[in-house]
Structure 1
Amino acid sequence: MNLKKQSIVIAGGGSTFTPGIIMMLLENLDRFPIRQIKFYDNDAERQKQIADAAEIILKERAPEIEFLSTTDPEEAFTDVDFVMAHIRVGKYAMREIDEKIPLKYDVIGQETCGPGGVSYGMRSIGGVLGIIDYMEKYSPDAWMLNYSNPAAIVAEATRKLRPNSKIINICDMPVGIEHRMVEILGMKSRKELSIRYYGLNHFGWWTDIRDQDGNDLLPKLREHVSKHGYLTPKELEGTANETVEKSWEHTFGKAKEVFALDPLTMPNTYLKYYLFPQDEVALADPNHTRANEVMEHREKLVFDECNRISQIGTAKNTDLAADEHASYIVDLARAIAYNTKERMLLIVPNNGAIVNFDPTAMVEIPCIVGSQGPEPLVQGEIPRFQKGLMEQQVAVEKLVVEAWDEGSYQKLWQAITLSRTVPNARVAKEILDDLIVANKDFWPTLS
């Protein structure tokens, strides 16, 4: 079967994740052939460092692929089949502020959860809508596969403000947890798992996990997670090939406490921020947050390596590697391009998939994906505990989008007040007022 070659634009060409996506695309050319890759970013200098290295990598490994790096929307979005978007409006400097302002008030600072997520969402909405508009103007038949965070708020914004757009919002955190489940179970690939899952982005639960023969894998997972969370056997033994960062080691271990609240399911790790916010504040360093870790490590390593490749003119000995989680985006693009009917976990309008939940909520559930996009799979009714948590969080997300759209200070104050990470409305207002000052160059004017 001759597969049609695809044209892709990576929106956020200057991202630290872009090299991993390029390496991943190159590893999958037999499944997803490419004729053209473009980079688009509004920061030319930052993008150039990644693009110069990517151009060398492509010339050495796939010289038949045309490559272009640009800051011109028309040039970037014309003649493309897929937009792979992972933008970060305000870059890591603003993420640092998102994390540190709430911590001044003993509220967790996190890039997608709580006030930090609200702040990031208020910056991201306009950026993502702008990319959709470019795509629809210059390549109206293209699909946008959106990785940009905070995915829950961005997904609600696209549902409400661009309801007919061909955008699919995705997140690789469940994929990363499923990789850990596979290690715990002694299996080889997450593709061996058949799962049922429901929730919101960074806010969900696995309700059924089986192998391809239909054997129930939850009992073994329950036994392990109740004692060790999602830390793998090799990590517990100290024999893992890669050392997990301390912050992530805590996150994966903390899952055992989240699991205890509903031991019939397997939780998403991000639930720790909503269910144990005081614990996370106690562990946080208000002067050195996750944003600082990323800037000091991943960001520095990626840009140093890209600059090294550019200086010596070859990538033959590079340690840049395919982003394992990003292979999910290839599966999604393949499903649309070649109608593979892949089963995938996506963020989609509920529309009755969770029977006893808001039909307009953007929920994360399994879908069958083909050339027409995702077909959500019905998950039935959900328990009162999860339903109550999700209703509160959906209200936060909807209020944020309404606040952005209407320029409403009141609704953004209400959104932050509703977050389970915030103790009361007075603290919510104090945090909001600080965030408004910090985001004066990014947020719409609120009144």
Structure 2
Amino acid sequence: MSEGIKIVTIGGGSSYTPELVEGLIKHYEELPVRELWLVDIEEGKEKLEIVGNLAQRMIQKAGLDIKVHLTLNRREALPGADFVTTQLRVGLLDARAKDERIPLSHGVLGQETNGPGGLFKGLRTIPVILDIVNDIKELCPDAWLINFTNPAGMVTEAVLRYSDHRKIVGLCNVPIGMEMGIAKLLDIDHSRIRVDFAGLNHMVFGLDVYVDGVSVKERVIELLADPSNSSFVKNIEGLGLEAEFIRALNVITCPYHLYYYKSAEMLEKELANFKEGTTRAEVVKKLEEELFELYKDPELAIKPPQLEERGGAYYSDAAVRLISSIYNDKRDIQPVNTINNGAIANIPFDSAVEVSCLITKDGPKPVINGHLPVAVQGLVQQIKSFERVAAEAAVTGSYDTALLAMTINPLVPSDTIGKAILDEMLEAHKAYLPRFFAKAQA
């Protein structure tokens, strides 16, 4: 590895990028970044320039020698990269709005990474990520791909299954958000906490919680039985689970479990937002506009606190913690998306899972958990089946496989409704789904 580190961020014009830059500045001594390349597409050019200028001001203010490069050509950026991070949104926020609004118009939950919306985000995203993987294999084969792009579990599954690139780690800020939330509940510093995580992305459970190495799970479960403590991530408003249910489940849920354990209430809430024109995509669009106005300010040289409202809290902590642990061979334990290799007995060896791992210079080594608790294993297996079939549909462009994925998702009530949603969403996202339409045009 050459002197200093080269990081390439694809989707560099994202509003989240200042989070990453802040993390790189804070951890510069252990992670000496030499070059940061921010890559985006033509439609993201203006945002890339705004974010790039802010990144340069932040680095200048910190007095560090990190060169920031902006480009619309990822092949120019990749050669010699040590780490490639992906944080892209195929179709931008307009596509997210369709992912939310079309299912809701059929009375089905519309959400970015769950149900039909999660399926279509995967269908649009997986081919793009696989193209990036091909470029990495050609131009920087030793680079680690750190994927933040949702649906992170499905994307990791697709890369493991449809490419031979094994240097991929999927990362999400939900587990670190859960850790921070538990630390806050216990009124202690985050550094004293360890959670044994096992499951899938946005379907992860805390099997045990330790403070200074001693299990405090029972105490945490009791604290979480108070509904006001049941949601750790800002972009899902807390609807408290029933106290008796939390105690009986006896594991710590993540906020996304509300879509499965409180489906009726979440759907009712989303339908109310839909009627008012305030689904999450519309809220985020407004937040993004406000953030980019702030980012334009030539006097601004820090990450503005408003960014945390975007749902990206602890993103830089998770990102930099992981990259530093690989680079420095720290061998600490972190929750990431990686190949199962027997970590969860109920899931195939070659599938992607989100589990606590020992992070080494050779990547994550999953901590063996054995079987998941009986009460949660069925849901996890069902979502894994959905991810597997959805990844296959994304790669093949098969309508039938896409309908299968849609229908086996637990948030879709029937194949007939699933088919109606599938047909409407395929048409709505046609520009970003060439594999599904290539045969029709041939």
Query: What TM-score, normalized by structure 1, do the two folds share?
Result: 0.90
Cα offset, 1:333, TM superposition:
0.8
- Is 1:438 the counterpart of 2:423 in the alignment? no
Secondary structure of the structure 2 residue equivalent to 1:205: strand
Distance 1:263 1:399 in 2: 28
1:383 aligned residue? 373
1:12-91 alignment, distance < 5 Å: 12-42=11-41, 43-91=44-92
Cα distance change, pair 372–317 in 1 and its aligned pair in 2 (3 A) = closer
Cα distance change, pair 128–261 in 1 and its aligned pair in 2 (3 A) = farther
1:103 aligned residue? 104
1:10 aligned residue? 9
Distance 1:292 1:103 in 2: 14
1:196 aligned residue? 196
* Structure 2 residue corresponding to 1:362, chosen from 342, 352, 355: 352
1:306 aligned residue? 295
Cα offset, 1:228, TM superposition:
2.5
Secondary structure of the structure 2 residue equivalent to 1:111: coil
Secondary structure of the structure 2 residue equivalent to 1:101: helix
Secondary structure of the structure 1 residue equivalent to 2:106: coil
Unaligned runs of 5+ in 2: none
Secondary structure of the structure 1 residue equivalent to 2:432: coil
- Is 1:254 the counterpart of 2:240 in the alignment? yes
Cα distance change, pair 201–337 in 1 and its aligned pair in 2 (3 A) = same
Q: Which amino acid aligns with 1:13?
A: G
* Structure 1 residue corresponding to 2:333, chosen from 343, 356, 360: 343
1:429 aligned residue? 419
Distance 2:16 2:301 in 1: 20
Contact 2:9/2:84 (CA < 8 Å) preserved in 1? Answer: yes
2:402 aligned residue? 412
Contact 1:171/1:201 (CA < 8 Å) preserved in 2? Answer: yes
Distance 2:15 2:269 in 1: 27
1:262-341 alignment, distance < 5 Å: 262-284=248-270, 285-286=273-274, 287-297=277-287, 299-309=288-298, 314-316=299-301, 319=304, 324-341=314-331
Secondary structure of the structure 2 residue equivalent to 1:441: helix
Distance 1:414 1:403 in 2: 9
Secondary structure of the structure 2 residue equivalent to 1:288: coil
Contact 1:231/1:249 (CA < 8 Å) preserved in 2? Answer: no
Distance 2:255 2:248 in 1: 13
1:239 aligned residue? none
1:145-160 alignment, distance < 5 Å: 145-160=146-161
Q: Which amino acid aligns with 2:195?
A: I
Encode CA deviations 1:175-200: one digit per residue, 9 max, x unaligned: 111111000011111x3112212111
Report % sequence identity: 28
Cα offset, 1:337, TM superposition:
0.9
Cα offset, 1:33, TM superposition:
1.4
Cα offset, 1:52, TM superposition:
2.1
Cα offset, 1:41, TM superposition:
0.7
Encode CA deviations 1:76-126: one digit per residue, 9 max, x unaligned: 112211112111111111101100000011111100000000011111102
Encode CA deviations 1:187-240: one digit per residue, 9 max, x unaligned: 111x3112212111111211111112x3221122111111235359xx9xxxxx
Q: Which amino acid aligns with 1:14?
A: G
Q: Which amino acid aligns with 2:413?
A: P
Cα distance change, pair 316–347 in 1 and its aligned pair in 2 (3 A) = closer
Contact 2:137/2:165 (CA < 8 Å) preserved in 1? Answer: no
Cα offset, 1:317, TM superposition:
7.1
Distance 1:318 1:408 in 2: 43
Contact 2:45/2:72 (CA < 8 Å) preserved in 1? Answer: yes
Secondary structure of the structure 2 residue equivalent to 1:119: helix
Distance 1:439 1:420 in 2: 23
Distance 1:258 1:112 in 2: 28
Secondary structure of the structure 1 residue equivalent to 2:326: helix
Contact 1:26/1:62 (CA < 8 Å) preserved in 2? Answer: no
Secondary structure of the structure 2 residue equivalent to 1:254: coil
Cα offset, 1:48, TM superposition:
1.4
Contact 2:221/2:247 (CA < 8 Å) preserved in 1? Answer: no
Secondary structure of the structure 2 residue equivalent to 1:346: strand
Cα offset, 1:261, TM superposition:
7.5
Q: Which amino acid aligns with 1:302?
A: L
Q: Which amino acid aligns with 1:300?
A: E
Cα distance change, pair 83–39 in 1 and its aligned pair in 2 (3 A) = same
Unaligned runs of 5+ in 1: 236-243
- Is 1:216 the counterpart of 2:215 in the alignment? yes
Greater CA drift, 60-69 or 219-228: 60-69
Secondary structure of the structure 2 residue equivalent to 1:364: strand
Secondary structure of the structure 2 residue equivalent to 1:37: strand
Encode CA deviations 1:339-381: one digit per residue, 9 max, x unaligned: 1112111112222111233223211111101111111111011
Distance 1:32 1:387 in 2: 38
Q: Which amino acid aligns with 2:436?
A: T
Q: Which amino acid aligns with 1:315?
A: L
Distance 1:87 1:417 in 2: 27
Cα offset, 1:59, TM superposition:
2.6
Distance 2:373 2:245 in 1: 15
Please tell me the root mean square deviation across aligned C-alpha atoms, in Å.
2.2
* Structure 2 residue corresponding to 1:374, chosen from 345, 359, 364: 364
